[in-house]
């Protein structure tokens, strides 16, 4: 294993355990034992909202049975591979950049290589986190420089690799993006001992709002060949004019971050979230 922080995650629910290192609080604050979890689901959310991601004390993880994906034209999508790499993850007490933004509840560096279609979630570490309100998480996409054992060759020098079919046509999405993703909302929540902080990405909602009907067989969508078009994902970003941008922005938009109170690896009305 070349990469110490190699992670496998659950099905098209994707459950990720990540290392958390708590920063020393600037003032006297109690701390709780914390871990980190991220899930991705092909089930469409009841309401397609904006932002969020992760978890605390991951002793178990379960994967939801993947449902059928469709694009905005109704064409069926099947994913065969989905990988991402992230690093420099922080929890923040402010919804947006600005007020109190220098205050960091948790910071951990990575990079973390995540197989989003794996049925084998793994807890990396548990440490202490300040028992303070959280409204946002931010992390940076990271291009893989050394491939960990078991990861696909296509991930090298990329931060996201997705492979699948749309209406019977094979496609791949290779992103060398290294920008920052932020997920936040107006509602704050406070971690408690052994609670779970969860980031849930609704993959079904991402693809449901992108028109991929013009993708051709064996097409590779990359930063150099983005598959341009008009009105490809107006519900995600009306200014986006290529599928590459639609996928990148869709992954950030269709995510929720909160406290998974019932421990079912899903953020519902019974849980606390930033949205």
* pLDDT tens for each residue of 181-237: 888 888 888 888 877 777 777 778 899 999 999 999 999 999 999 999 999 999 999
Beta bridge partners of 108: 89
SS3 (DSSP) at 47: coil
Beta bridge partners of 113: 6, 85
Q: How far is CA 3 from the centre of its chain?
A: 20
CA 140-201-173 angle, to 5 degrees, is: 65
> How far is Cα 51 from Cα 76, in angstroms, rounded to an integer?
25
Count of structural domains within the chain: 1
pLDDT of residue 119: 55
CA 39-169-11 angle, to 5 degrees, is: 20
Beta bridge partners of 161: 83, 174
Judge whether 24 lies within some domain: yes
Cis amide leading into 111 (omega within 30): yes
pLDDT of residue 38: 62
Res. 122 pLDDT band, cuts 50 70 90? very low
- 187 Cβ contact partners less than 8 Å away, ≥ 6 residues apart: 135, 272, 273, 274, 275
Judge whether 178 lies within some domain: yes
> How far is Cα 79 from Cα 69, in angstroms, rounded to an integer?
9
Among 16-20, 50-54, 162-166, where is mean pLDDT lowest?
50-54
HSE value, Cβ hemisphere, 13 Å, CA-based, for 269: 2
- 98 Cβ contact partners less than 8 Å away, ≥ 6 residues apart: none
Q: How far is CA 26 from the centre of its chain?
A: 29
SS3 (DSSP) at 110: coil
Strands 112-115 and 6-8: parallel
| Structural domain for 16, as ranges | 6-270
> How far is Cα 2 from Cα 144, in angstroms, rounded to an integer?
12
pLDDT tens digits for range 140-181? 999 999 998 889 999 999 999 999 999 899 999 999 999 998
Judge whether 197 lies within some domain: yes
pLDDT of residue 126: 59
Q: Which residue has the higher pLDDT, 42 or 161?
A: 161
- Single pTM value for the model: 0.76
pLDDT of residue 263: 72
Among 124-133, 200-209, 255-264, where is mean pLDDT lowest?
124-133
Among 74-88, 91-105, 214-228, 229-243, where is mean pLDDT lowest?
91-105
> How far is Cα 32 from Cα 35, in angstroms, rounded to an integer?
10
pLDDT of residue 39: 58
Contact 183, 22 (CB under 8 A): no
> How far is Cα 27 from Cα 6, in angstroms, rounded to an integer?
34
pLDDT of residue 258: 80
């Amino acid at each position: 294993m070349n990469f110490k922080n190699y992670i496998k995650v659950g099905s098209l629910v994707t459950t990720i355990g990540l290392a958390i290192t708590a920063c020393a609080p600037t003032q006297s604050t109690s701390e709780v034992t914390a871990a980190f979890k991220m899930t991705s689901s092909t089930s469409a959310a009841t309401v397609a909202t904006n932002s969020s991601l992760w978890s605390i004390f991951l002793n178990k993880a379960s994967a939801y049975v993947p449902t059928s994906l469709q694009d905005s034209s109704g064409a069926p999508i099947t994913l065969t591979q989905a990988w991402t790499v992230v690093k420099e993850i922080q929890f923040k007490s402010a919804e947006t950049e600005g007020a109190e933004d220098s205050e960091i509840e948790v910071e951990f560096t990575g990079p973390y290589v995540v197989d989003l279609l794996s049925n084998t979630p793994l807890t990396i570490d548990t440490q202490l986190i300040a028992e303070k309100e959280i409204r946002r998480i931010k992390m940076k996409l990271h291009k893989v420089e050394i491939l960990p054992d078991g990861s696909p060759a296509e991930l090298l020098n990329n931060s996201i690799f997705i492979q699948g079919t749309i209406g019977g046509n094979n496609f791949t999405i290779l992103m060398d993006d290294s920008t920052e993703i932020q997920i936040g909302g107006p509602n704050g929540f406070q971690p408690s001992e052994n609670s779970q902080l969860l980031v849930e990405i609704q993959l079904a909602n991402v693809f449901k709002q992108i028109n991929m009907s013009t993708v051709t067989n064996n097409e590779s969508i990359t930063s150099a060949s983005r598959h341009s078009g008009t009105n490809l994902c107006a519900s995600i970003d009306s200014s986006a004019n290529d599928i590459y941008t639609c996928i990148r922005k869709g992954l950030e938009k269709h995510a929720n971050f909160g406290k998974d109170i019932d421990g079912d690896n899903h953020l519902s009305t019974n849980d606390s979230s930033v949205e």
